[in-house]
Every structure is written in structure tokens, then in C-alpha cells.
């Protein structure tokens, strides 16, 4: 594990880059901007996130390691071109060991600004791909598609259902991925309950998908089939798990478990958990394929593989009497250090 810190008072940059592992290739991971309460909170987040990226790449069979970066600041108030130029120089200082991409609080445009200072960015190429399809560089559609595939696999495993018509789903967080996931669920016939800290996406989900808006506190208590956490991490803890009435947890958020023991607690409560770094790998798959020469058909095949990987995890966990989180970790570790 490797971390580096950068402070640039001229533009207000306070950032951390964490690299967890580079055995399989350079460490690729998003650049997150968030108003952390302290430097220690930001450091804890970057360490957890970079580990998750290593495991994510391994489970997706990508030739990449795991890393992450965080910028301490409110993305709605503290962004500037100078800040992202400085962040690009910070990434460049690592000489290619870390490759940055979009994440919570940052946009493709932000990463593109960083790319003016370094070649070590990904998911920003707005150009025709190898199959002639115009690429925006935004990996969130692929992330949402992969989560949708994984959610269907979890529903098939836990509920024995092949379709989602009438399925009751609570979506926590309507960012770039959560809102797209909600749209796909709506189009598949699911009934939706949604929460978010911002009123605009809530109003949109209500108007376009007929979703019921609930508070962030209420989202855990709903009588639904699936809880889909698509906001920030550590939402599955002693208190929230006991409140869940859903029998499936399948969402896009990173680091959903507050601690490893909560994977086992979910198992004990009869809740099937789709390990976060397996189900939300669509974005990094998209970015990795872009680096090699993007083909949409290849991307879709790889995204469908998320469901197959999850079924392997579910079935092995059931056969061995272990949590899906523990089984996924063991498979990822075997691939990381094979």
C-alpha cells in the first residue's frame, strides 16, 4: 500500500492518492471530490476505495491494479480549473503508477482538465471508437448497466425470478449511476422508492419513473424486495442491517459494508448481498476497454459477465456456508497474487 498527499494553497487543493496493488498492472481508480470532515476521514476512505479497486479489477479479469484519489472539498462550491490542473500535476508526479478517472463529485470534464497536465487519466476520450460509435468518455452508463445485470442475477438467485415486473426496489442515491439504474428498473417494470440528498433527481425520478420519494432515514425500513445502495459507502452496519426488510442488497456504491463482519451479518439475516466491487465493475471495464480500443459489443459481453461472476460467488457461498463478501474476497485475492 502506498499513499501520497498534496497541498497547493494557490488553488486550495488538498488531495490524497492511494495505490493498493500493482501486481496485475497500473493502479486505475476514480478521483473523488468530497467535503470530508477531516484529513483522517479522507485517508480512511482512500485506503478502503483503493483496496476495492484492486479486488474489482481482479474479479473483472482486467490487467489493472487498484488505486484511488480524493480531493477534500465541496464539489458544488470549491471546484476550479486551477484546482484540477494542480490535481493533474499531482497524478503526473507518480509517473504512471496511478491512472485517474471520474468518480463521485467529479465529472468527465474535470478529469479532462487534469489530462492537460498528465497522460495518466482515463474515461475522457470524446471520439469515435473502433466500432464507429461516438464515445463521451463517461463510464457511468456502463456502471449502471453492470449493476442492472448483477441485480437481475441476485433476484434470480434469491427470489427465483427471471423478470423484474412488479419487483419492489429501494434506490438510495440518484447520482449519475443511481438515476440510470432507476430508469432501467422502471423500464423493466419494477416499482421504485428513491432517496437522495438533492431534490432535483428526486423530482425527476418521481415524474419520469413514478418513483415514491422517501427520506434517507426511511429508505432502510421499506417493505421491498431489493435495497440498491448507490450513494456513498459504509451504509450496511449493525443498525441498518437489522432494519432492512429487503432480501437482496444489490447496488452501485463502493464499500457498502461498514466492516467485514457485516457481510456475515447479512448472511445470518437471510439477505443476499451482491459484493459491491463485483457488481459495480462496469465503469472500470469500460475504461479498461477504452484504453485498448473500444468495441461496444465487447463491452456488453464483459458486462454480462458480471452476472456470471456473481452467480459463481452466490453458489459457492451457499455451498460453503460463508458470506458472499468473504467468498468474493477469497476469489479476488487468489487472482491478485496468483
25-63 pLDDT, tens digit per residue, is: 999 999 999 999 999 999 999 998 999 999 999 999 999
pTM of the complete model: 0.88
d(CA 204, CA 285): 28
Q: Say whether both 162 and 260 belong to one domain.
A: yes
Answer with the residue of higher pLDDT: 245 or 1. Answer: 245
Q: Say whether both 116 and 146 belong to one domain.
A: no
288 pLDDT more than 90: no
User: Which pLDDT score, from 0 to 100, does residue 290 have?
Assistant: 80
Which phi and psi angles does 180 have, rounded to 5°?
-65, -40
Q: Which of 68, 79, 127, 292 is catalytic?
A: 68
User: Which pLDDT score, from 0 to 100, does residue 90 have?
Assistant: 98
Q: Say whether both 96 and 197 belong to one domain.
A: no
- Give the pLDDT band of residue 264 (cuts 50, 70, 90): very high
Residue 135 resides in a domain: no
The fraction of the chain above a pLDDT of 70, given in percent, is 96
Q: Say whether both 279 and 328 belong to one domain.
A: yes
In the block, which residue shows the cell 462550491?
A: 77
> Which three cell numbers, joined as nine digits, stand for 216?
434517507
Residue 58 resides in a domain: no
In the block, which residue shows the cell 456475515?
A: 264
Q: Say whether both 114 and 251 belong to one domain.
A: no
Per the DSSP assignment, residues forming a β-bridge with 169 are 192, 226
* CATH code, domain carrying 15: 3.40.50.10860
User: Which pLDDT score, from 0 to 100, does residue 104 have?
Assistant: 86
Q: Answer positive or negative: Cα dihedral of 198, 201, 207, 209.
A: negative
Q: Say whether both 147 and 83 belong to one domain.
A: no
Residue 210 resides in a domain: yes
73 pLDDT more than 80: yes
Q: 301 and 144 in contact (C-beta within 8 Å)?
A: no
Report helix angle 282-292 to 140-159, nearest 10.
Answer: 130
In the block, which residue shows the cell 502506498?
A: 2
d(CA 333, CA 319): 20
Q: 191 and 222 in contact (C-beta within 8 Å)?
A: no
Q: 200 and 208 in contact (C-beta within 8 Å)?
A: no
Question: Taking the chain, what is the end-to-end CA distance rounded to the nearest angstrom?
Answer: 18
User: Which pLDDT score, from 0 to 100, does residue 130 have?
Assistant: 46
Q: Say whether both 106 and 150 belong to one domain.
A: no
* CATH code, domain carrying 155: 3.40.50.720
Residue 68 annotated as catalytic = yes
Contacts of 273 (CB under 8 A, 6+ apart): 236, 249, 250, 256, 263, 266, 267, 323, 324, 325
Identify the DSSP state of 211. Answer: P
Structural domain containing residue 39: 2-51+64-124
Residue 202 resides in a domain: yes
Q: Say whether both 307 and 274 belong to one domain.
A: yes
Q: Which of 311, 170, 193 is nearest to 244 (CA)?
A: 170
Q: Compute how many other C-beta atoms are within 10 angstroms of the C-beta atom of residue 40.
A: 9
Q: Which of 124, 151, 171 is the last residue of a domain?
A: 124
Residue 73 resides in a domain: yes
Number of domains in the chain: 2
Number of residues that make up the chain: 338
Q: Say whether both 210 and 298 belong to one domain.
A: yes
294 pLDDT more than 50: yes
Q: Say whether both 163 and 109 belong to one domain.
A: no
Residue 57 resides in a domain: no
Q: Which of 95, 124, 153 is the last residue of a domain?
A: 124
Which tens digit of pLDDT belongs to each residue from 180-213?
999 999 999 999 999 999 999 999 999 999 999 9
Q: Say whether both 196 and 99 belong to one domain.
A: no
How many angstroms from the chain centroid is the CA of residue 254? 5
d(CA 173, CA 195): 6
Residue 186 resides in a domain: yes
Residue 199 resides in a domain: yes
> Which three cell numbers, joined as nine digits, stand for 280?
459495480
Q: Say whether both 184 and 91 belong to one domain.
A: no
Q: Answer positive or negative: Cα dihedral of 181, 224, 305, 326.
A: positive
Per the DSSP assignment, residues forming a β-bridge with 27 are 65, 98
DSSP 1-14: -EEEEEEETTTTEE
Q: Which of 93, 124, 155 is the last residue of a domain?
A: 124
Amino acid at each position: 500500500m502506498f499513499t501520497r498527499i498534496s497541498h497547493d494553497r494557490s488553488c486550495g487543493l488538498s488531495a490524497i492518492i492511494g495505490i493498493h496493488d500493482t501486481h496485475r498492472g497500473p493502479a486505475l481508480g476514480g478521483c473523488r471530490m468530497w467535503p470530508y470532515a477531516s484529513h483522517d476521514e479522507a485517508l480512511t476512505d482512500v485506503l478502503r476505495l483503493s483496496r476495492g479497486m484492486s479486488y474489482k479489477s481482479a474479479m473483472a479479469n482486467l490487467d489493472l491494479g487498484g488505486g484511488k484519489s480524493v480531493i477534500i472539498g465541496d464539489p458544488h462550491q470549491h471546484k476550479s480549473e486551477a484546482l484540477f490542473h494542480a490535481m493533474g500535476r499531482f497524478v503526473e508526479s507518480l509517473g504512471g503508477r496511478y491512472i485517474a478517472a471520474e468518480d463521485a463529485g467529479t465529472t468527465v470534464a474535470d478529469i479532462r482538465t487534469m489530462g492537460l497536465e498528465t497522460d495518466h487519466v482515463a474515461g475522457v476520450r470524446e471520439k469515435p471508437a473502433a466500432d464507429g460509435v461516438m464515445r463521451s468518455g463517461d463510464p457511468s452508463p456502463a456502471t449502471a448497466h453492470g449493476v442492472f445485470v448483477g441485480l437481475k442475477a441476485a433476484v434470480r438467485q434469491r427470489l427465483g425470478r427471471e423478470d423484474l415486473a412488479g419487483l419492489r426496489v429501494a434506490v438510495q442515491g440518484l447520482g449519475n449511476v443511481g438515476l440510470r439504474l432507476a430508469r432501467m428498473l422502471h423500464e423493466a417494470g419494477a416499482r421504485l422508492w428513491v432517496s437522495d440528498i438533492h431534490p432535483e433527481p428526486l423530482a425527476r425520478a418521481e415524474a419520469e419513473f413514478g418513483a415514491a420519494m422517501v427520506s434517507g432515514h426511511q429508505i432502510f425500513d421499506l417493505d421491498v424486495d431489493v435495497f440498491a445502495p448507490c450513494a456513498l459507502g459504509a451504509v450496511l452496519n449493525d443498525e441498518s442491517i437489522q432494519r432492512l426488510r429487503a432480501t437482496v442488497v444489490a447496488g452501485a456504491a463502493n464499500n457498502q459494508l461498514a466492516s467485514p463482519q457485516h457481510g456475515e451479518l447479512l448472511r445470518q439475516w437471510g439477505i443476499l448481498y451482491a459484493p459491491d466491487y463485483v457488481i459495480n465493475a462496469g465503469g472500470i471495464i469500460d475504461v479498461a476497454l477504452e484504453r485498448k480500443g473500444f468495441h461496444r459489443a465487447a463491452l456488453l459481453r464483459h458486462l454480462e459477465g458480471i452476472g456470471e461472476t456473481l452467480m459463481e460467488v452466490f453458489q459457492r457461498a451457499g455451498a460453503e456456508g460463508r458470506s458472499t463478501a468473504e467468498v468474493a474476497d477469497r476469489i479476488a485475492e487468489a487472482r491478485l497474487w496468483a
